Amino acid sequence: MNPATSTAALPCATGAQFTLTRGGAVAQVVALAAGLRLFARDGVALTESYADHQIAPGAAGITLAPFANRVDGGRWLLDGAVQQLDITEVDRNNAIHGLLRNTAYTALESSAHHVLLEAAIHPQHGFPFLLRHQVRYTLGEDENLLVEQTLLNDGAARAPYVLGAHPYLCLGSVPTEELTITVPAATVVLANERLIPTGTAAVGGATDAASAAAGVPGGGVDLRAGRLVGGLSLDSAFTGLDFAGGRATTTLTAPDGRTVWLWQEEGAAYVHIFATDKFPGRTKAVAVEPMTGPANAFNSGDGLNWLEPGSSATLRWGIGASL
C-alpha cells in the first residue's frame, strides 16, 4: 500500500521520496513534478499510486505550473507576438500539463508532518519568463492533507499563469466504478475532439461531445446529485462551483458510506474530472483536478491571471476522508 517502504536497490524513477506521517495518516511526496505519490489514512489508500520504477501514470498526483491542462497547438500571443510552446501531447498537437512535469524539485524544508519543494521555470520556448513554483504538503492534526502551490515571479515582466494539480482519488480496494462522484458545479466547459474548450453550458443542458462520452443521451453532465463513476467516460472541466464556506468540495462515496473528498479554495474556480479505463491496475480511475483556469486559458483568457514582478500567488487545496 505504501511505496515508501520499498527497499529497491535502484533509485526511484521519481527521484527523492518524502514520507509524511501523522497518527494514522501517511503521505508520500516525490521530487519529480512535486507529485503526490500516495495519501492514505488508517491503511486505506485515498489516492492512486505507482511502483518505484514508474513515473506517474496518467500524470497521477503531479502539480501543474505555469499552465494546467492544454494549450491549443502550443501557440499563444504575447503582446501580439506568437509564442510556441513545445508540443507535449503529440496525438492531439497540444502543450499539456505545464512546464515542470519532467523537473525534479528541491526540498527547502521537511519534517515529519510537512515538506516544501521548489523548482524554477526558466525562460524557454513559448514562455519567456522567470518564475519559481513552490509546493508545500502538510498533514494536519485532523490527519487530512493540505497542499499549497505558490508561484513567484523573479523576472522583470508580468507573467501569465494557471495553477493546478492532477491527483486521482480512490477508496482503497473498492472498485472505483462503484464509487459515486459528486461535483458542486453548475457549468460544464464544452470542448472539441482535441479537448480544447469551445464554450460553456449549464450542466443540465449540455449536449456536446462530453455529454455523449459521459453516457447522457440528450442531457447534461450534471454531477451535483452524484453519479456512479462506472457510468462515466469523462474528460471535462467544470466551473460555477458552489464555494460553501469558501471551499468547493468534490466527493467520492463508497457503497458502505465511506467518503474521500478534495476541496479547493475560491481562487480555483475550475475542477477537471477525468474518468478513465486506462489507468494501470484499475478497471476505472478518476482524477479530480483543482485548477485556477481551464484548458487553453493562455488563448481564451478564461481564468487567466497575471503575476507582477516580485509578487506571488497561491493555490490551496486538500484531500480528506471519512472512514
The CATH number of whichever domain residue 249 belongs to comes to 2.70.98.10
Nearest C-alpha neighbor of 64 from the set 143, 136, 133, 113: 133
Return the number of other C-beta atoms located less than 10 Å from residue 231's C-beta: 14
> In which element (H, E) is residue 297 found?
helix 297-300
Distance CA 253, CA 136 (A): 27
**Residue 121 near residue 103, CB atoms below 8 Å:** no
**Does 142 fall in a domain?**
yes
Nearest C-alpha neighbor of 185 from the set 221, 239, 229: 239
**Does 22 fall in a domain?**
no
Q: Which three cell numbers stand for residue 250?
A: 468534490
Distance CA 139, CA 208 (A): 40
Q: DSSP letter at 311?
A: -
Encoded amino acid at 33, one letter: A
**Does 288 fall in a domain?**
yes
Q: Which residues form the domain of 286?
A: 56-322
Vertex 67 angle, CA 221 and 311, to 5°: 125
Distance CA 271, CA 291 (A): 6
Specify the pTM.
0.93
Encoded amino acid at 253, one letter: T
Tell me the CA distances in angstroms from 270 to 60, 138, 214, 234, one per residue in order: 18, 23, 19, 15
Tell me the CA distances in angstroms from 258 to 180, 252, 255, 294, one per residue in order: 11, 9, 8, 30
**Does 268 fall in a domain?**
yes
List the pLDDT tens digit at each of the 323 positions of the chain: 444 444 445 799 999 999 999 999 999 999 999 999 999 999 999 999 999 999 999 999 999 999 999 999 999 999 999 999 999 999 999 999 999 999 999 999 999 999 999 999 999 999 999 999 999 999 999 999 999 999 999 999 999 999 999 999 999 999 999 999 999 999 999 999 999 999 999 998 645 455 455 444 334 589 999 999 998 989 999 999 999 999 999 999 999 999 999 999 999 999 999 999 999 999 999 999 999 999 999 999 999 999 999 999 999 999 999 99
**Does 278 fall in a domain?**
yes
Return the number of other C-beta atoms located less than 10 Å from residue 274's C-beta: 22
Percent helix / strand / coil, the chain, rounded to 5: 10, 45, 45
Q: What is the 3-state secondary structure (H, E, C) of 189-246?
A: EEECCCCCEEEEEECCCCCCHHHHHCCCCCCCCCCCCCEEHHHCCEEEEEEEECCHHH
Domain count for the chain: 1
**Does 259 fall in a domain?**
yes
Q: Which three cell numbers stand for residue 103?
A: 523537473
Nearest C-alpha neighbor of 133 from the set 98, 83, 85: 98
Q: DSSP letter at 113?
A: S
**Does 44 fall in a domain?**
no
Q: How many CA atoms lie within 13 A of 47 on its CB side?
A: 35
**Does 3 fall in a domain?**
no
